[in-house]
Structure 1
Amino acid sequence: MPIDAEKALAAEPRTSKISWDHKDVQLYHLGIGAGARPDLADPAVDPGELRYTLESGLQVLPSFATVAGAGLGMAGLSSPGIDVDLAAVLHGGQSVRVHRPLPTEGSVVQTSKVAAVYDKVKAAVLVLRTEAADEDGPLWTSDSEIFVRGEGGFGGERGPSGRTAYPAVAPDHIVERPIRPDQALLYRLSGDWNPLHADPGFAALAGFDRPILHGLCTYGMTLKAVTDTVLDGDVTRIRSYRTRFAGVVFPGETLRIEMWTEANQVRVEVRAVERDNAMVLGDTFVEHS
């Protein structure tokens, strides 16, 4: 069997040292749309966008953890006990918890392991966990939920569903964020070189009529929108952020980001406006101070 759950869970964690500087942070922020406010009548850059793009006063969105070191946390797919066809792999969900604000320049030891293997009958779900720490202690913990089609049915635990009921009241905030036609080409410079997001021929082989946007780009764009709308642009208030990838996004589309505010939490749903508000991110929560 391509997935040996017992062997995968017992494997020794993999460690690597990664580092970044302000240019990596700025490139990531530009890749998720920072610096562009087409909703403003004045074409000048909104001063609020400079906290994401200008090295003086630069802050770091916690979602940067997913690309730090070119996203090496996904290396868990090559762990002992896992031998899967990458064409059958889907990114089902993502979460990150920050233990303190991320610095604009840093060097950390990153530890990656398979934290869980779930049996969904028609698919297996791998939870790949990455923990990063520097000389001052833990910095972030990130989980990637990976669906592997056709690898279920081995008799393992089904695991949590992760789905919650849709809110029965209207959103407290709704914002729309346009996706530039070249957004995927810019975002991929942060380390995800999958040709699915750039090469029309490869996208066609995967069943799409054109390249799709990285799910983690939508993930970052959404966190930025919540931060700017609800948290006064203060990234240091963010404690954790999780989502379920519910559908694809194409460059050139518009994201409709709906937010429900609760005590120390924002519930979010994200839809693609041009495709009848098709859901693209569901069960999304930002915990904050």
Structure 2
Amino acid sequence: MPIDVSRALAAEPRPARITWGHKDVQLYHLGLGAGANPDLRGAATDPDELRYTLESRLHVLPSFATVAGAGSPGVIGGLSLPGIDVDLASVLHGGQTIGLHRPIPVEGEAVAATRIAAVYDKVKAAVLVVRTEVGDAEGPLWTNDAQIFVRGEGGFGGDRGPSARPAPPTGEPDRTVERAVREDQALLYRLSGDWNPLHADPEFAKLAGFDRPILHGLCTYGITLKAVVDSLLDGDVGRVRSYTTRFAGVVYPGETLRIRMWRGDGQVRVTVGAADRDDAPVLADTVVEHT
């Protein structure tokens, strides 16, 4: 079996030194559509967007943690850890969680230690939990958990993993916004470090079972967090403590995301659908924990 579970779980974390600066942060934000005014199309840039795009006012959206250091080691790097030997075309990103210890600085140098935290047997697929813990000279910064589905690698008799899912939010959402995805969104977003050809190469996309390249799930993830911060958290990225989601469906460049938000006690529940396809689910089980 290409996944050697015992070896993968026993391997020591793989450390990597990562650095980033304001240009990396700005490029990431632009890859999410920052700088546009979604509510006043054709109008001048919303001054509030300058906190994402102008270096003198810059703050860092917490989902930047998924690409800091040009996405290294990241999801793709996790697939090269000991005990893991899989075909990239069989891989799907199933979910993502970020836990923040403190706000991410605009300029940084840190060590990212990546390991396989769990391997679950879903019969038709294996699920890898790739955990990256990042810290700098001042202490821990964030923890990333990526849940990676590897089709065709299940059925090895292992732990099936947690099955409980939160109940969907009820009642009318407190806020609903729409965010248009540009036709070139994936091509711009991938410059932040996710070079998977699934998001750019039509031939590779067909090998993976898609008619055409799809948007990065982590791009949708970032677009959604930005919408929550801007709509319900007063634009204050420092209030975010954790952010988790399950990738429930694909987004194609050129579509529109419909993002629904429900306020709770210290959290925002979110659902995201493709407005052009009758709200086909895109992100589910999505929670932003905040102060």
TM-score, normalized by the shorter chain, greater than 0.5: yes
2:289 corresponds to 1:287: yes
* Percent of residue pairs bearing the same amino acid type: 73
Provide the secondary structure at the position in 1 that maps to 2:55: coil
Correspondence for 2:195 among 193, 196, 213: 193
Higher mean Cα deviation, 200-209 or 17-26?
A: 200-209
| Separation of aligned partners in 1, 2:8 and 2:138 | 30
Output aligned runs, 1:130-209, within 5 Å: 130-161=132-163, 163-209=165-211
Question: Unaligned 5+ residue runs, structure 2?
Answer: none
Match of 1:73 in 2: 74
Provide the secondary structure at the position in 1 that maps to 2:79: helix
Provide the secondary structure at the position in 2 that maps to 1:164: coil
Provide the secondary structure at the position in 2 that maps to 1:186: helix
Equivalent residues, number: 289
Higher mean Cα deviation, 150-159 or 198-207?
A: 198-207
Correspondence for 2:224 among 222, 235, 252: 222
AA at the equivalent of 2:25: V
Match of 2:3 in 1: 3
Provide the secondary structure at the position in 2 that maps to 1:70: coil
| Separation of aligned partners in 2, 1:255 and 1:167 | 18
Runs of 4+ residues over 6 Å off in structure 1: none
AA at the equivalent of 2:69: G
Provide the secondary structure at the position in 2 that maps to 1:56: helix
Match of 1:121 in 2: 123
- Check the 8 A contact 2:89/2:207 in 1, yes or no: no
- Check the 8 A contact 1:14/1:113 in 2, yes or no: yes
Provide the secondary structure at the position in 2 that maps to 1:223: helix
Are the structure 2 counterparts of residues 162 and 112 from structure 1 closer, same or farther at C-alpha, using a change threshold of 3 Å? farther
| Separation of aligned partners in 1, 2:42 and 2:7 | 58
Q: CA deviation at 1:206?
A: 2.4
| Separation of aligned partners in 2, 1:206 and 1:122 | 16
| Separation of aligned partners in 2, 1:250 and 1:65 | 23
Provide the secondary structure at the position in 1 that maps to 2:177: strand
Are the structure 2 counterparts of residues 15 and 100 from structure 1 closer, same or farther at C-alpha, using a change threshold of 3 Å? same
What TM-score comes out, normalization by structure 1 length? Answer: 0.97
2:17 corresponds to 1:12: no
Question: Unaligned 5+ residue runs, structure 1?
Answer: none
User: 1:133-168 deviations in whole A, cap 9, x for unaligned?
Assistant: 100000000000001111112221111125222223
The CA RMSD measured in Å over matched residues stands at: 1.2
| Separation of aligned partners in 2, 1:123 and 1:210 | 23
Correspondence for 2:235 among 222, 233, 236: 233
What TM-score comes out, normalization by structure 2 length? Answer: 0.97
Match of 1:44 in 2: 44
Match of 1:267 in 2: 269
| Separation of aligned partners in 1, 2:13 and 2:120 | 19
| Separation of aligned partners in 1, 2:164 and 2:102 | 25
- Check the 8 A contact 1:32/1:217 in 2, yes or no: yes
- Check the 8 A contact 1:173/1:258 in 2, yes or no: yes
| Separation of aligned partners in 1, 2:156 and 2:202 | 36
Q: CA deviation at 1:42?
A: 6.2
Match of 1:29 in 2: 29
- Check the 8 A contact 1:162/1:283 in 2, yes or no: no
Provide the secondary structure at the position in 2 that maps to 1:78: coil
Are the structure 2 counterparts of residues 162 and 215 from structure 1 closer, same or farther at C-alpha, using a change threshold of 3 Å? farther
Provide the secondary structure at the position in 2 that maps to 1:131: strand
Provide the secondary structure at the position in 1 that maps to 2:50: helix
Q: CA deviation at 1:41?
A: 5.6
| Separation of aligned partners in 1, 2:196 and 2:138 | 34
Are the structure 2 counterparts of residues 160 and 219 from structure 1 closer, same or farther at C-alpha, using a change threshold of 3 Å? same
